[in-house]
């Protein structure tokens, strides 16, 4: 049975007035210029009666409902089963969000209706344009350019994984690259410009180096990883994309042919344990939020609301032209909104959060996908426990769970552990949650072999 591969791209740049996501709070970051167009790129693989689709979308988040709508449309117009469609966000902070993110980017429903159609169109057209192909898999490491932002010397996943499809003429026509770092480099240049950030620049460089090829980027496990801060400067902001493109080309040049036949997909629903908020802590934050909104008092805000609501409290007022009053008012508004949303069902809401884990197989190259901002230690654990070396760990896929912190951050009630669940509206994860997610991905990977 011949393997067939198709790849196709659509444009999803937002119209004027759509807010960019990923920087809070309540900044109304509507864009003023387009640095580079946002895209949706789909790769489809078909062998025999099995088919899978992998779609990379230049958005910050996407939720399960967004994915469901895309899958339904793809399944209606192709032979790809809905559960075999993986939709992954790049997590660019200079792009809109298709998942709820309280205070850090409003969803524009008219725009998202168009995006859903464009994302599905990419997969449908990739299916229609599939052709006989051979697959090649490779990997290398990009070291020294990223750091663990939650602790000095903390773990980072430096693996660069690549998948290449060559046509009957022996020339490459599709490339997928998986790496792990927050795409916030361009946000520090201009937080009101539309941009794919470093993944987009990497894609452009690969396509220049490999004429006739369409490239795509799959965001990995970057919940605790940024590019080094000196690379956020205007003079150096292109270095991350350039370095990653260089490493990807290196891995592609050394790639091995995927000899094992077969494609496959497995989607599982799993339950992740969470911690119910204590009513006292919710009421305390609600009371402080109301007080500060009414009084305008900014005294001691860094030690209370600012302690975990922002990563760098001393720099936070810069987002409001240095106005501390506006900055504290935004924090207080957030405190009131999330507490009043959670209080009515605080005592009855389930503490187990259900979500999807998904795995795709391309011969003996595997993709493990989930909806969280996974910390690096879990990604590295997944690699240690899965016996096949060519594994792409893909985050921000099919759902929107916010950060998946490890025990270190859970114990310290950090921004990732205590604040980020309030963005997406679920209870905080516990120390065991990440391990449960890894176990679910391993089970899904095993499922692709059946």
Q: What is the pLDDT of residues 174-219, one digit of tens each?
A: 999 999 999 999 998 899 999 999 999 999 999 999 999 999 999 9
Q: What is the pLDDT of residues 80-117, one digit of tens each?
A: 999 999 999 999 999 999 999 999 999 999 999 999 99
Please work out, in degrees rounded to the nearest 5, the angle formed at the alpha carbon of residue 152 by the alpha carbons of 418 and 221.
60
pLDDT of 405 over the 90 cut: yes
- Residue 170, pLDDT score: 96
State the chain's mean pLDDT as an integer.
Answer: 97
Average pLDDT of the residues in 7-13: 98
Q: What is the pLDDT of residues 149-169, one digit of tens each?
A: 999 999 999 999 999 999 999
Confidence of residue 242 (pLDDT cuts 50, 70, 90): very high
C-alpha 242: how far from chain center: 21
Angstrom distance (rounded) from CA 178 to CA 365: 12
Residue 181, both tokens: 């770092």
What is the DSSP annotation of 68-133?
Answer: HHHHHHHHHHSS--GGGEEEEE---TTS--BS--TTS----HHHHHHHHHHHHHHHHHHHHT-EE-
Domain boundaries, the chain: 3-269+354-447, 279-345
- Residue 57, pLDDT score: 98
Angstrom distance (rounded) from CA 279 to CA 67: 33
Would the pTM count as exceeding 0.85?
yes
Average pLDDT of the residues in 241-260: 97
What is the DSSP annotation of 103-116?
Answer: TS----HHHHHHHH
pLDDT of 119 over the 80 cut: yes
Q: What is the pLDDT of residues 305-351, one digit of tens each?
A: 998 898 889 999 999 999 999 999 999 999 999 999 999 999 999 99
pLDDT of 1 over the 80 cut: no
């Amino acid at each position: 049975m011949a393997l067939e591969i198709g790849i196709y791209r659509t444009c999803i740049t937002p119209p004027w007035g759509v807010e960019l996501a990923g920087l809070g709070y309540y900044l109304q970051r509507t864009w003023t210029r387009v640095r580079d167009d946002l895209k949706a790129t789909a790769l489809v693989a078909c062998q025999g009666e099995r088919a899978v689709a992998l779609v990379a979308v230049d958005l910050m988040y996407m939720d399960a409902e967004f994915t469901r709508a895309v899958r339904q449309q793809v399944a209606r117009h192709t032979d790809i089963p809905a559960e075999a469609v993986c939709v992954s966000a790049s997590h660019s902070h200079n792009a809109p969000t298709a998942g709820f993110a309280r205070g850090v980017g409003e969803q524009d429903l008219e725009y998202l209706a168009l995006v859903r159609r464009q994302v599905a169109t990419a997969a449908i057209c990739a299916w229609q344009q599939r052709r006989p192909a051979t697959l090649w898999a490779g990997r290398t490491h990009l070291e020294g350019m990223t750091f663990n932002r939650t602790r000095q010397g903390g773990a980072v996943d430096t693996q660069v994984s690549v998948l290449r499809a060559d046509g009957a003429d022996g020339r490459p026509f599709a490339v997928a690259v998986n790496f792990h770092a927050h795409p916030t480099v361009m946000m520090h240049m201009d937080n009101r410009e539309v941009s794919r950030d470093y993944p987009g620049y990497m894609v452009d460089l690969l396509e220049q180096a490999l004429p006739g090829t369409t490239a795509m980027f799959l965001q990995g496990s970057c919940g605790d990883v940024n590019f080094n801060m000196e690379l956020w400067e205007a003079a150096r902001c292109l270095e991350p994309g350039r370095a990653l493109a260089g490493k990807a080309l290196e891995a592609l040049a050394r790639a091995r042919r995927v000899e094992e036949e077969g494609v496959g997909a497995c989607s599982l629903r799993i339950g992740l344990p969470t911690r119910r908020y204590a009513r006292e802590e919710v009421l305390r934050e609600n009371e402080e939020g109301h007080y500060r909104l009414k009084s305008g008092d900014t005294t001691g805000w860094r030690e209370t609301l600012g302690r975990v609501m922002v990563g760098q409290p001393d720099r936070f007022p810069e987002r409001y032209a240095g106005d501390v009053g506006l900055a504290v008012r935004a924090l207080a508004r957030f405190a009131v909104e999330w507490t009043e949303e959670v209080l009515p069902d605080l005592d009855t809401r389930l503490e187990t959060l259900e979500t999807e884990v998904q795995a795709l197989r391309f011969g003996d190259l595997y993709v493990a996908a989930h909806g969280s901002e996974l910390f690096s230690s879990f990604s590295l654990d997944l690699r240690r426990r899965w016996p096949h070396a060519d594994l792409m760990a893909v985050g921000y896929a099919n759902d929107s769970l916010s950060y998946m912190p490890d025990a270190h951050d859970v114990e310290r009630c950090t921004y990732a552990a205590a604040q980020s669940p309030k963005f997406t509206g679920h209870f905080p994860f516990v120390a065991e949650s990440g391990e449960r997610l890894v176990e679910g991905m391993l089970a899904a990977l095993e499922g692709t072999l059946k």
